[in-house]
Amino acid sequence: MGHRVFAAVSVTATLLLVAAAPSLAQGQLPRPGQLPPPGGQMGPPQQRQQQPQQQSQQPAPARPYKPVAISAPAPLKDPSFEAFRKQLGAIAQRKDRRALAGLVVANGFFWLGENGDKAEKGKSGIDNLAKAMGLDGKDASGWDSLEGYASDPTATSDPDRKDTYCAPAEPDFDPQQLEALAKATGTEEGEWGYPMQPGVEVRAGPQPNAPVIEKLGMHFVRVMEDSGQGNQDNPMLRVVAPSGKVGFVPVDAISPLGNDQICYVKGPGGWKIAGFVGGEQ
């Protein structure tokens, strides 16, 4: 199934917004993953296939819908993981490649893209990670992304790799219900995101002080194509609330499914970065 997705600000700007957003629970920060560009694809990392652009098609009209509930991902309860994340975050802030190398597996690093493992077997783990996340060069914006990942306490166990966990974790939900929701509203599953916390205020306009017309619960919400409204300090997304009303929410308040993920492994020597899911096309 093709996916129409919502657009947002640049990765760096998004991460800055995410870092300042209210936490879902104590010690739990919103997702740091990249929001897709206009016309891009969204879905589980292993299913991110290039689909024909559908920007020329008219989006389905806004209409009321029955919300599909989601349960926010829970933090990985391991004190050693929290200590590791703090260390990783400090290294990312300093952009210390040498120190980061000590936190990456020397052998067996994986980089899962659309066509399987893209890691170069003749290169070290740190070299593959740097390429996957964009840690080298003048821009080197991947360091901001790495700091965002380090701030996220959630992680999901990798069923194919022992003692390996990938973050950020996705919320729990019924995929069949989401599929039925998309079908009932004439939309694509990629048009639906989920709030980072309950009570997100939907405003009548793209201004942060516009009147509140509805509040969102912990359920999927339809995100229209990027409105391009708001400003750099307060970028907004145009959404459809369950009532069918169209309004605006802060871009950092809604997360897509299928974020890129960084993966960690816990071994005798502690935690290390074991791989990456997503990255360059």
- The model's pLDDT over 202-252, given as tens digits with 9 standing for 90+, comes to 999 999 999 999 999 999 999 986 555 555 677 899 999 999 999 999 988
Structure token pair of residue 4 = 């129409």
Q: What ranges do the domains of the chain cover?
A: 1-48+62-78+154-281
Structure token pair of residue 42 = 């969204």
Residue 28 has pLDDT above 80, yes or no: no
Distance in angstroms (rounded) separating the CA atoms of residues 251 and 226: 10
The confidence score (pLDDT) of residue 22 equals 33
Q: Cis peptide leading into 168, omega within 30 of 0? A: yes
The confidence score (pLDDT) of residue 255 equals 87
Determine which helix (DSSP H) or strand (DSSP E) holds 201, and give its type and residue range.
strand 200-203
More confident residue, 279 or 224: 224
Residue 280 has pLDDT above 80, yes or no: no
Q: Which of 1-15, 150-164, 211-225, 259-273 has the lowest mean pLDDT?
A: 1-15
Other C-beta atoms lying within 10 Å of the C-beta of residue 90: 13
HSE on the CB side for 105, CA within 13 Å?
A: 20
Indicate whether this model's pTM tops 0.75.
no
